[in-house]
């Protein structure tokens, strides 16, 4: 009895001190050849060290030829100094990529859990080998939301976590989907989805869905689509000190895609963002009230609102379109007729843009094509100074169904048949 008590105390002590001094570490072996899939070794390391341990990717290339669903992490450090290179077996991915649970989208890698700390030290890279996808999608009549085309990384159910110092290179489709995640900090992430052979399509930098208390700081994105996009039920999001190149700027939406579903985007703060050659600084896109088809490419008829947002200290060079745009006219390509661009029940309200300056190629500072059913209210534009290369100021503020504008006057009416980007 005496002896067993001592043994019990001794065992408890060694376990506790082992846990404190050196958490269990798993260094993932790399096969070194793309003929051997490294995904099983990666999953195995997370199984052994993904709860209260540390998982290390060495500074080498890991070949990822199959899907990974690692959604059960708990209190883990992920040290990523290597390069993860995804295979280009398009038929494999179309058949096997994992459901995301949004818009019928799918993904190559799901990561989730509580208290996860991912650090790429500025060198760790997720390379989607997207050049193959960008060429292939052009051959599929440019159906960029092709069913089964995978999002590079989906953070699903990630809470109280930090993701920093990671590079994403040529994602297969969207780069990071962040869904059902709360209290997560993203810092110093670089996304370069510039295609080497053809332009990339549908390669958003980051997308938030049904997530809250998410911060992005020092995010850099080179792409041709949404630089970052806050979608259905994204609340309490901040984006600071970031740089966006060539893409479409900060997107709110598309939203209102699910018939009769109530969704919001609220309490968004964007500060100190630099844009180079983007189409917009900020743009909103909602589906019309007519439902045609199903996601990913069809939908419509959603309810809700986007509200309580501040965008301040924005600098642009060569903005390509209206700096701030609203289009409530997203609809299924090929829908009967042209659709009705003013019947959405989804409302946009209480939005402020302050201190937006720089150079533009468009006369239009705003293009607000709002719904007649739920007009835009309380939109504010303050300290706006956008100029052409020759120093002339851009001065058009086009509006449709805008009530109580603050800090600006509408100078004309917007055209209604706008595309999802708000341009006619």
SS (H, E, C) 244-302: EECCCCEEEEEECCCCCCEEEEEEEEEEEEEEECCCCCEEEEEECCCCECCCCCCECCC
Neighbouring-strand partners of residue 305: 264, 347
Among 41, 114, 236, 295, binds ligand NAG (CB under 6 A): 295
Among 218, 277, 307, 378, binds ligand NAG (CB under 6 A): 218
**What residues numbered 36-65 form the site for ligand NAG, per CB under 6 A?**
65
As measured in angstroms, the least distance from the Cβ of 338 to ligand NAG is 8
Among 175, 211, 220, 246, binds ligand NAG (CB under 6 A): 220
Q: How many residues bind ligand NAG (CB under 6 A)?
A: 43
Q: Does 294 bind ligand NAG (CB under 6 A)?
A: yes
- Within 10 Å of residue 3's Cβ, how many Cβ atoms? 7
Q: Which is nearer to ligand NAG, 29 or 122 (CB)?
A: 122
**What residues numbered 172-191 form the site for ligand NAG, per CB under 6 A?**
188, 190
Tokens representing 203 are: 């390669």
The answer to whether 346 and 307 have CB atoms below 8 angstroms apart is: no
Among 35, 260, 334, 336, binds ligand NAG (CB under 6 A): 35
Per the annotation, the verdict on 225 as an active-site residue is yes
The answer to whether 327 and 411 have CB atoms below 8 angstroms apart is: no
Among 149, 210, 285, 364, binds ligand NAG (CB under 6 A): 210
The answer to whether 369 and 410 have CB atoms below 8 angstroms apart is: no
Residue in the block written with tokens 């992920």: 78
As measured in angstroms, the least distance from the Cβ of 137 to ligand NAG is 8
The answer to whether 254 and 225 have CB atoms below 8 angstroms apart is: no
Pick the stretch among 15-23, 98-106, 311-319, 325-333 that binds ligand NAG (CB under 6 A). Answer: 98-106
Residue in the block written with tokens 């109580």: 404
Q: Does 260 bind ligand NAG (CB under 6 A)?
A: no
Q: Is 243 exposed, middle or buried (0-12, 13-18, 19+ CB in 10 A)?
A: middle
Select which of 79, 207, 225, 289 is catalytic: 225
Q: Which is nearer to ligand NAG, 161 or 292 (CB)?
A: 292
Rounded distance between C-alpha atoms, residue 374 and residue 256, angstroms:
13
Among 20, 91, 334, 409, binds ligand NAG (CB under 6 A): 91
As measured in angstroms, the least distance from the Cβ of 104 to ligand NAG is 4
Q: Which helix (H) or strand (E) holds 382?
A: strand 376-387
Q: Does 297 bind ligand NAG (CB under 6 A)?
A: no
Nearest to 243 by CA among 165, 163, 186, 315: 315
Q: Is the peptide bond before 396 cis (omega within 30 degrees of 0)?
A: no
H-only helix segments in 22-51: 39-49
The answer to whether 359 and 353 have CB atoms below 8 angstroms apart is: no
Q: Is the peptide bond before 2 cis (omega within 30 degrees of 0)?
A: no
As measured in angstroms, the least distance from the Cβ of 53 to ligand NAG is 19
As measured in angstroms, the least distance from the Cβ of 298 to ligand NAG is 8
Q: Which is nearer to ligand NAG, 373 or 424 (CB)?
A: 373
Among 233, 234, 369, 420, binds ligand NAG (CB under 6 A): 233
Q: Does 215 bind ligand NAG (CB under 6 A)?
A: no
Among 159, 340, 355, 378, binds ligand NAG (CB under 6 A): 340
**What residues numbered 105-164 form the site for ligand NAG, per CB under 6 A?**
110, 122, 138, 141-142
Q: Does 87 bind ligand NAG (CB under 6 A)?
A: yes
Q: Does 261 bind ligand NAG (CB under 6 A)?
A: yes
Q: Which residues contact 393 (CB under 8 A, 6 or more apart)?
A: 385, 386, 387
Q: Which residues bind ligand NAG (CB under 6 A)?
A: 34-35, 65, 69, 71-72, 87, 91, 94-95, 98-99, 104, 110, 122, 138, 141-142, 188, 190, 192, 194, 196, 210, 218, 220, 222, 232-233, 261-264, 294-295, 340, 342-343, 372-373, 388, 390, 392
Active-site annotation, residues: 225
């Amino acid at each position: 009895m005496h002896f067993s008590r001592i043994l019990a105390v001794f065992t408890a002590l060694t376990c506790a001190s082992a846990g404190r001094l050196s958490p269990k570490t798993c260094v993932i072996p790399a096969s070194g050849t793309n003929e051997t899939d490294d995904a099983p070794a990666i999953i195995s390391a997370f199984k052994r060290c993904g709860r209260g341990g540390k998982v290390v990717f060495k500074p080498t290339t890991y070949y990822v030829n199959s899907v990974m669903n690692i959604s059960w992490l708990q209190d883990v450090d992920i040290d990523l100094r290597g390069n993860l290179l995804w295979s280009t077996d398009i038929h494999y991915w179309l058949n096997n990529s994992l459901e995301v649970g949004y818009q019928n989208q799918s993904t190559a890698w799901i990561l989730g859990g509580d208290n996860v700390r991912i650090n790429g030290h500025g060198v760790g890279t997720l390379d989607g080998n997207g050049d193959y996808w960008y060429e292939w999608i052009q051959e599929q009549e440019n159906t960029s939301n092709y069913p089964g085309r995978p999002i590079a990384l989906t953070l699903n159910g990630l809470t109280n976590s930090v993701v920093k110092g990671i590079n994403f290179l040529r994602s297969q489709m969207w780069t990071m989907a962040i869904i059902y995640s709360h209290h997560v900090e993203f810092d110093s992430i670089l996304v370069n989805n510039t295609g080497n052979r053809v332009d990339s399509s549908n390669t958003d930098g980051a997308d938030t869905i049904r997530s809250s208390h998410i911060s992005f700081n020092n995010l850099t994105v080179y792409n041709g689509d949404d630089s970052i996009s806050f979608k259905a039920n994204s609340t309490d999001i901040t984006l600071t000190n970031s740089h966006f190149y060539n893409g479409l700027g900060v997107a709110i939406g598309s939203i209102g895609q699910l018939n009769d579903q109530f969704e919001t985007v609220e309490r968004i703060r964007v500060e100190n963002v630099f844009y180079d050659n983007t189409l917009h600084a900020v743009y909103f896109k909602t589906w019309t009230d007519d439902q045609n088809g199903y996601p990913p490419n069809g939908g419509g008829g959603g309810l809700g609102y986007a509200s309580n947002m501040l965008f301040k200290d924005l600098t642009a060079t060569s903005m390509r379109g209206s700096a701030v745009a609203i289009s409530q006219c997203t609809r299924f390509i090929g829908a009967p007729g042209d659709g009705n661009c003013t019947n959405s029940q989804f409302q946009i309200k209480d939005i402020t843009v302050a201190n937006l300056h720089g150079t533009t190629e468009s006369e239009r500072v705003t293009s607000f094509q709002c719904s007649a059913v739920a007009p835009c209210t309380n939109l504010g534009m303050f300290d706006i100074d956008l100029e052409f290369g020759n120093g002339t100021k851009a001065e058009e503020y086009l509006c449709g169904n805008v009530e109580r504008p603050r800090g600006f006057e509408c100078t004309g009416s917007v055209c209604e048949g706008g595309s999802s980007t708000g341009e006619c």
